[in-house]
Structure 1
């Protein structure tokens, strides 16, 4: 069974970001980049399926600038077998990303596509669902448990009321939630081995897809700074402020 795992290059989650001077995007100059944390969880789950003897190959794919090869090599150091980079400088919308991933999977014919539920830069939570719809495959989003038995996939997913368990036939699309697993650290020997693993690169134009701009970012602004709190002397004073100033109680 082949597993395809899309991964995205994003600013490291531990780095404090800032908006650029034009207020059009986050300024990424000289910032540390990393695999999107939810994508890393998806890679870990795919590697675990391979280690359990339920998957034969794990392929990671990324869409982005040439430097995204770094994140693909990291994914291969975590256990993926090979990588594919669709190189482009364009900022693609989730629908365009889903179309590109469908084109890649049409070629790869993976039995399972597992990806992070969202990226920490756009927070759209759309690509997995769109990919499933375009491909005509069943989907399980927000997965916290993934089990593969007898050619069928059982997924426990996070929902508002608690959890829901569903069973699907393959091929299928799964999006990984935070509680699915704890990603491993890449060891030095595996980092060295990853440098020799195959990494295919292609230009976005090579896929000959009819992509267009589906949305336009009008402005990006930093969140308002949190206002300092005040100290109160008594419970009565606290209640008075909550009632008369904050007006959160009656």
Structure 2
């Protein structure tokens, strides 16, 4: 293949490294529904991950990916579900395969909600306006034999608004995904995502997930989260709980 030539056979590819390395992140998936084990709160997410194209540069694959997601926080009551918060997330990634096992991911993203504008108000809750614009950089190692990955990265948040501008912040990120039992149509796995957030004095926030992945498209899993909320409305709230969910990675 020539320098910069688009591989049209791989425009819509399923990259083992690109879209599977950070499933331990509590917010990773295309479609999901998870529930707290200690309350009637549900956390549905809807979105899509679109691999736009793959080009080959000096025998290294370069992938262009767009992700767009909507995260929600809902509570089930007698009259049905009440929507408490909703957040929007979009990011673009440039991912470069150095070898068959090693890749670099570089991206820019935006996460926000505007609860004051959308008039979504929980009882006894003062809604805030939340905006986060950031750059991400990851180094990812994928083990083909064991279908497992480890990664490390840094997220630089250059525009951070929680009602007011709180200044640029950085997050250190480490994680892994290990398939400890692999069969033809399913895998049993353990994954974790660990963040050290400067906005919380670099105190750790960790999510640990274990479950079954069926045909690499759908996961049924249990999570344990210990750390600061990923939801901008609950910025600064410390969470220590289990929740379970269904996650679809097909899109």
Task: Give the TM-score taking structure 2 as reference length.
Answer: 0.27
- Write 1 or 2 for the structure with the bigger share of strand: 2
Higher relative contact order (CA 8 A, sep 6+): 1
State which structure, 1 or 2, has the greater radius of gyration over its C-alpha atoms. Answer: 1
